[in-house]
Amino acid sequence: MTIRIVHYINQFFAGIGGEEKADHRPEVREGAVGPGIAFQQAFGEEAEIVATVICGDTYFNENMAAATDEVIGMMENYRPDLVICGPAFNAGRYGIACGAVAEAVVDRLVIPAVSGMYPENPGVDMYKKAVYIIETSNSAAGMRKAVAPMVRLALKLARGEKTGSPEEEGYIPRGIRQNQFAAERGSKRAVEMLLKKLKGEEYTTEYQMPVFDRVTPGAAVKDIKKAKIALVSSGGPVPKGNPDRIESSSASKFGRYSLQGIDDLNPENSETAHGGYDPVYANEDLDRVLPVDVLKEMEKAGEIGSLHEYWYATVGNGTSVANARRFAVEIVKELTAAGVDAVILTST
């Protein structure tokens, strides 16, 4: 019997449009659409993509509970044996949507789901324990390479076959530990690995340790009364109307905004673009997120040298580490060129 598959994609891969169409509400189309055509060719006669569910990234992330209900309801009508989501590559909001849909498929429809993402996509950390996520490149240029392992794993899961290790199948490790029997005891295996490491030989650890960034603290400001201070925030503080259209989740950009003539942030001149917390109190008085009023008072009182003429803002909600690192490098270049001595970094 042919395996029935439903495919989930966003507005871009459905050919509807880019960011300007990211608020597209969920819809369903018969058969394969966009990248689904490549999946269908790879499945051959073993499986059929019976329908494609499409949803804009912004709509999904800003209405996650309702959007998930809509999407799952559409899928359920087609009685799928398995669902494929994406691949999302390094698109943060798309990755979060794919992960959320895949998790709901497993929980509510009680069938397997497979997605594909770049390891730094925020959707990976959020959903890797719940669903299988094939590792992909960081852009859609790697679509062809992503299809084959996703199809292989999807067919295994749909047939109820036992899946292999992440290395064998190509999926991102899920952090699930399983008992295995080994020919040699642990102490001997550990010594053998240590000897190989000392000799510079290749070896494979049995337990991958996490790697954390270590940031060396900067030197203290010598004289705060002479220092130029800048404000940078991941809490989404932007001028009224969000002129740069910074995304409420999985931001792909940051903004630089002038403080000329502004001594106070208020509902007339500013708002938050952040979608990860209740914006009511921030929008009432954005100084709660970005303390412009206090720093302007300190500047006038001579308690700091000066407040930098621009503030920098982005949204930290679901934003990938790669994007955050890129924002930081660009912002630091500008602050250094402007002679800024210290930064106050605010969040939510």
pLDDT digits (tens, 9 = 90+) for 114-167: 999 999 898 998 999 999 999 999 999 999 999 999 999 999 999 999 998 898
Q: Where are the domains of the chain?
A: 3-169, 224-346
pLDDT in the model for residue 205: 85
Per-residue pLDDT band for 343 (boundaries 50, 70, 90) equals very high
Task: Give the C-alpha separation, 242 to 46, whole Å.
Answer: 48
Assigned CATH for 3-169: 3.40.50.2300
Instruction: Report residue 57: phi and psi, to 5°.
Output: -60, -45
pLDDT in the model for residue 348: 84
13 vs 209, residue with greater confidence: 13
175 vs 174, residue with greater confidence: 174
Task: Give the C-alpha separation, 173 to 146, whole Å.
Answer: 16
pLDDT digits (tens, 9 = 90+) for 213-262: 788 888 999 999 999 999 999 999 999 999 999 988 888 899 999 999 99
Which residue, among 313, 339, 188, 302, has the nearest Cα to 259 in the 3D structure? 313
Average pLDDT over residues 319-324: 82
The residue whose two tokens read 């959707």 is 123
Report which DSSP code applies to 250.
S
Task: Give the C-alpha separation, 265 to 292, whole Å.
Answer: 7
Using an 8 Å Cβ cutoff, are 92 and 47 in contact?
A: no
pLDDT digits (tens, 9 = 90+) for 263-314: 999 999 999 999 889 999 999 999 999 999 999 999 999 999 999 999 999 9
pTM of the model: 0.73
Using an 8 Å Cβ cutoff, are 137 and 89 in contact?
A: yes
pLDDT in the model for residue 209: 75
Using an 8 Å Cβ cutoff, are 319 and 348 in contact?
A: no
The distance in angstroms from the start CA to the end CA of the chain is 52
Helix (H) or strand (E) holding 255: strand 255-258
Residue 49 pLDDT > 80: yes
- Give the three-state DSSP class for 216: coil
pLDDT in the model for residue 47: 97
Helix (H) or strand (E) holding 331: helix 321-337
Concatenating the DSSP letter of every residue in 55-100 gives E-HHHHHHSHHHHHHHHHHHHHTT--SEEEEEEEET-HHHHHHHHH
Using an 8 Å Cβ cutoff, are 78 and 4 in contact?
A: yes
Using an 8 Å Cβ cutoff, are 278 and 304 in contact?
A: no
Edge to edge, what strands does the sheet with 47-55 contain? Answer: 27-30, 47-55, 3-10, 82-89, 113-117, 132-135
